[in-house]
Chains A and B, each alone.
Chain A
């Protein structure tokens, strides 16, 4: 594994992730998540639905980075539209673009040379599209990029729940490790398949229907309800 992957997944990398709960704050207030057992279920549900879709989008965006310039822009547009269609509530889409902007600010300052040209192409796009494409410019393999997204997708709500519910942090870490291990084989497989499936995109042939559209609507609705609340700790 390349050292840049470790930097990317470090919670102290200043990409703004500490402020997000990925709908967890609202799930806690609804009572859907109340203890470590329900946190475990929540993570398993998110990873096996939105997680698959995220891994596919990241791996495809990563693959696109190797395509000729005109096809790259068109392919990124297609992936961005695919994510739009799969994140139903406006709040989830806005958060994804906001997170992308903050991540790109941090990454561009960290690797200014490598990301100079990618910056313009990625402005205003969804987080997973940006993550996949930009990490390719850093020499990260599509599968590792997909894992960076999966790790973020799991750890963001987990640590938010840990803070909100006062969970035992050791138990939280144990649950996170278990959730990632459980989904590992599947993530490797879908990331590998996504790299192949994205090849036509790189050749200027549209088509993103192979991207999973099984998402976690309740989490996404929580994200929407969250934004409508007066009192909230997290940005999402």
Chain B
């Protein structure tokens, strides 16, 4: 804990005067909001956090997070995406950049901003003009062949989370097969199985986030 970048309050060198941003994508219902809530609860004591949601129709996700009381309400901002949630996070990111800036103006320096996508299909990924890293969330109940089917979220996201492993026996899903399909599709990129509802696997996700944040903020290094 001697390096400046190890400090929880550290928000980047002078040439990086903005929060570190992480996109959380994946199909509807896979557990993105549940993951965001869980990350906020566990990380907010050490990292000043903000959340941007991209609901399709309502501000449901933002309202849910506010209701759960995982963060101060003014740390949660919702973006409207005009039927095109994938456009808002990939092709035309201005509304999300506005939201991020609004949040930082309202609450001061933020260590991490989590940006949840409106649930979309397997091809919806974030632009790196918007996020520094992206997590793609699948769930075992959505079909254990999804990891094999691939798509950019599965193959190229910085972290793949396979959620709801607690449901595998109930839906007849083969978690081991999902994990090995995912690993085959992703090479060295990490995969973490979770049961967010039961707090399982969250520590590994946080460990990954903290490592990646330190790595980005430290720069390419020697």
Contacts and interface: CB of A to CB of B under 8 A. Distances in A.
Contact of B82 (A98, A106, A160, A231): A160
Interface string B84-104: 100110011111011000000
B220 to A, nearest CB: 24
A19 B58 contact: no
Given A101-B98, A230-B58, A231-B57, A12 B91 contact: yes
Contacts of B57: 231-233
B56 interface: yes
A15 B92 contact: yes
B82 A19 contact: yes
B156 interface: no
Given A12-B92, A102-B98, 17 more contacts: A12-B91, A14-B92, A14-B94, A16-B94, A18-B82, A18-B87, A19-B82, A19-B87, A98-B98, A101-B98, A105-B94, A105-B97, A231-B58, A232-B80, A233-B56, A233-B82, A235-B82
Interface string A1-28: 0000000000010111111110000000
B92 A233 contact: no
B157 interface: no
Contacts of A232: 57-58, 80
B155 interface: no
B125 interface: no
Contacts, number: 56
Across the A-B interface, the 4 shortest Cβ-Cβ residue pairs: A19-B82, A14-B92, A102-B94, A16-B94
12 contacts: A12-B91, A14-B91, A14-B93, A15-B94, A18-B92, A19-B88, A19-B92, A102-B94, A233-B80, A233-B81, A234-B80, A235-B80
B206 to A, nearest CB: 32
Interface residues of A, number: 23
Do most interface residues of chain B lie in helix, strand or loop, or is the interface mixed?
Answer: loop
How many B residues touch the partner, as a band? 10 to 19
Contact of B84 (A18, A98, A106): A18
B167 interface: no
Contacts of B97: 105
A106 B93 CA distance: 9
A19 B92 CA distance: 10
Interface in A160-195: 160, 163-164
B141 to A, nearest CB: 26
Contacts of A18: 82, 84, 87-88, 92
Interface in B88-131: 88, 91-95, 97-98
A187 B57 CA distance: 36
B83 A233 contact: yes
Interface in B42-81: 56-58, 80-81
Nearest to A102: B94
